[in-house]
Structures are given as structure tokens and as C-alpha cells.
Amino acid sequence: HGDPIPTAEGELSVHHGQPLTSLAEDSTARIVHLEDEPKTVYAQLVAEGLSPGMTVHLIRSLPEQIRFWANGDEHVLAPIVAANIAVEPVPEQEHSDALHCERLACL
């Protein structure tokens, strides 16, 4: 789920992600963390096949749903669920490559 592992000194690195719900439409980002509380929300994210390191492309953000591509599949989540996905925007070149790959389902 992306929780940091303590260093040998016992320090934790903190992810600097933002909620998927805060991305602008037509933006590409990388998942850096899936919140594991509440457990039912985490279970839904895992059932969707989402995991840290995965690239996502936000298609549409509406008050009742968030639509995005990840790993060649379109996903539709309620905003309250999507807010538990922390992402970091990717550089423009990666954005173009990821969008091209998603549209072709990375065959």
C-alpha cells in the first residue's frame, strides 16, 4: 500500500503525494500510496488492481465520480474512495508516453 519502511536509524520517509481527486483532468501521475484505513476502502482499491508505482491518467473528475485509466483499464470510483489514492504528477514526456500506452492498453 506504499507505507514507508523505516531506515536503519528508525526514520520514516514521507510520501509527498496529493489525492487523486486533486489532479486536473487530462493529467498523468504515479500512485505513491494507497491509504489502508478504512479497510473496506483499501479492499476496494486492491480489488480494482491498483498499487503504488502504477501510472494513472485522470479522464474526468465529477462530484459523483472520478474516471481514470490505470494499467490499461478504465476505473470509475466515488470521490471519497479516490481520495485515498495519493499520486505525484509525472514529467511531461512520461505523461505523453503513459497516455499513448494507456490508449493502446500497453500491448
Query: Is residue 9 domain-resident?
Result: no
Range of the domain at 95: 18-103
| CA pair distance 46, 1, nearest whole angstrom | 9
pLDDT given at position 91:
85
96 pLDDT more than 60: no
41 pLDDT more than 70: yes
Q: Are the C-beta atoms of residues 42 and 34 closer than 8 Å to each other?
A: yes
Q: CATH number for the domain including 37?
A: 2.30.30.90
Query: Is residue 43 domain-resident?
Result: yes
pLDDT given at position 16:
76
The model's confidence at residue 103, banded by pLDDT at 50, 70 and 90, is: low
Query: Is residue 34 domain-resident?
Result: yes
Query: Is residue 32 domain-resident?
Result: yes
Three-state DSSP at 22 gives helix
Beta bridge partners of 88: 30
Element (H, E) at 56: strand 55-61
Question: In the chain, how many domains are there?
Answer: 1
Three-state DSSP at 82 gives helix
Query: Is residue 38 domain-resident?
Result: yes
Query: Is residue 10 domain-resident?
Result: no
Q: Are the C-beta atoms of residues 82 and 20 closer than 8 Å to each other?
A: yes
